[in-house]
Structure 1
Amino acid sequence: MAGEEAKPAAMAVVVAMKGHPGSGKSTVARAIAAALCCPLLDKDDVRDCTLPLERAGGLAVGMLNEISYAVLWRMAERQVQLGLSVVVDSPLSRRAHLEALIRLPAALVIVVECRPGNEEEWRRRLEERGAAVAEGSGDGWHKPKTWAELERLRDGYQGCTEYEFGDVPRIVVDTTDLTVDSEAIAVRVVQFIRSVLACGH
């Protein structure tokens, strides 16, 4: 899909990715942004840039994370003000994060939740990425590098990642299904967006 054919409508759509680290969000987000020919805003791109601040000390890790989200929401707002649809790649781990996007004026928020069905494949991908970061060949120094780190992160969430979406349209995709690639998932998501818009959202 390319050009005008891929664009679902003139209304700005905020495609909000959701899912734990290593779940395949970023790969799918890139494919969706390419299919829609729209900007991709990645929270990790912002967070990666805070490494000098973290090394300097003085700011709590949680504060740097929240600053990263604040920058992400502001960039999304700017794109929507320009009438552009946008893909926002973040864990969307708290309801407050979703509400920040819902508050954007003149935009339809659609959640794409990446929920791995194959835990073994999920673990393999996460630890493969973690090894690359440890060797210095990848960004994401702040992400879990082992399955044990991911489990600690999930325990730390204390269930807050499972929340009600209300009337926000949501599609759940299995990013560990090896028979379906990210481009095929993007096609499904674009079709879902079109169906939501056709229903008058």
Structure 2
Amino acid sequence: MMIIERAVVVAVCGSPGAGKTTTARKAAARLGVPLLSRDEIADGLRLSGVAAEAIRGRAETLLVEAAVRFAAAGLSFVLDNSVLSRSLVEGLLGVEARVLAVHVIARDEVIGARLRERVTAGRGGRGDVAGPGLAGGEGEPGSGDTAAPRGGVPTVVRDGDRRLLALFEQGEMPRSIFEPPVGPHAVVELDTSDGSPAVEPIVAAAIALRGNGLR
């Protein structure tokens, strides 16, 4: 009899602007498990005074280390990162976690509109953004301009958002960059083109991997 339960890790990936983070947050809330976000790790490093050029790699390393440790302890959780690295998936499988990859997609015109909205209206919160091909995905601390408040909440137009939009408009953010690697026990694809999707397919797949429900 196993003393420590095998963890179920719901690893959410997808292009910036596809709705990945919104989906990850909804899934974590619905499943009642913690959310581990690379962007939030990057925020913490930035606030700790880590040099901007070092944050990207360190955030990815810390994400993988934390995810593997949590999974080894039998903790089920949702993970949010634009790209699921092979080292992440192999690390989770190495501690016998059950891995569900969730690939969040949207039509190109929808992603483009969302990225332009970030540049014109700004965003609240602390996360920063970088582009694909940057190990770890979406978060890269950088400077930005303060935009007009929305609903009384100040927003910031980030330099990373401008870079993302430029990359997208140059055709350098194809969907294939963000597809999960080989290895997860199951893969769910969710299209958010028509709005934030229901997370029931994620819940059903996670419970199926667990066998007797998340706890």
Change in 2 beyond 3 A, CA 1:46/1:163 = closer
Match status 1:45 vs 2:25: no
Equivalent position amino acid for 2:112 in 1: R
Of the three residues 140, 146, 151, the one matched with 1:135 is 146
Change in 2 beyond 3 A, CA 1:99/1:144 = farther
Change in 2 beyond 3 A, CA 1:21/1:162 = same
Q: Quote how far apart the aligned CAs of 1:163 are.
A: 6.4
Equivalent position amino acid for 1:68 in 2: A
Match status 1:189 vs 2:205: no
Change in 2 beyond 3 A, CA 1:150/1:95 = farther
Q: Deviations over 1:53-85 (max 9, x none)?
A: 335xxxxx3x42121011112222332243220
Change in 2 beyond 3 A, CA 1:139/1:47 = farther
Moved more, 139-148 or 164-173: 139-148
Separation (CA, whole Å) in 2 of partners of 1:115 and 1:194: 22
The aligned counterpart of 2:141 is none
In structure 2, the residue corresponding to 1:126 is in which secondary structure?
helix
Match status 1:98 vs 2:89: yes
Q: Quote how far apart the aligned CAs of 1:190 are.
A: 0.6
Answer yes or no: is the 8 Å Cα contact 2:24–2:80 preserved in 1: yes
User: Which stretches in structure 1 are left out of the alignment for 5+ residues?
Assistant: 1-9, 56-60
Change in 2 beyond 3 A, CA 1:142/1:42 = farther
User: Which stretches in structure 2 are left out of the alignment for 5+ residues?
Assistant: 124-144, 148-153
Q: Deviations over 1:89-137 (max 9, x none)?
A: 001254334333333x131111000111x22222222222334144364
Of the three residues 69, 86, 89, the one matched with 2:80 is 89
In structure 1, the residue corresponding to 2:51 is in which secondary structure?
helix
Q: Deviations over 1:131-164 (max 9, x none)?
A: 4144364579474335223456x7389x654565
The aligned counterpart of 1:6 is none
The aligned counterpart of 1:13 is 8
The aligned counterpart of 2:55 is 64
Of the three residues 100, 113, 121, the one matched with 1:124 is 113
Match status 1:74 vs 2:65: yes
Match status 1:107 vs 2:120: no
Match status 1:26 vs 2:21: yes
Answer yes or no: is the 8 Å Cα contact 1:44–1:140 preserved in 2: no
Equivalent position amino acid for 1:128 in 2: E
More helix, by proportion: 1
Match status 1:54 vs 2:87: no
More strand, by proportion: 2
CA RMSD for the aligned pairs? 3.1
In structure 2, the residue corresponding to 1:170 is in which secondary structure?
strand
Change in 2 beyond 3 A, CA 1:167/1:64 = closer
Separation (CA, whole Å) in 1 of partners of 2:41 and 2:156: 11
Equivalent position amino acid for 1:54 in 2: A
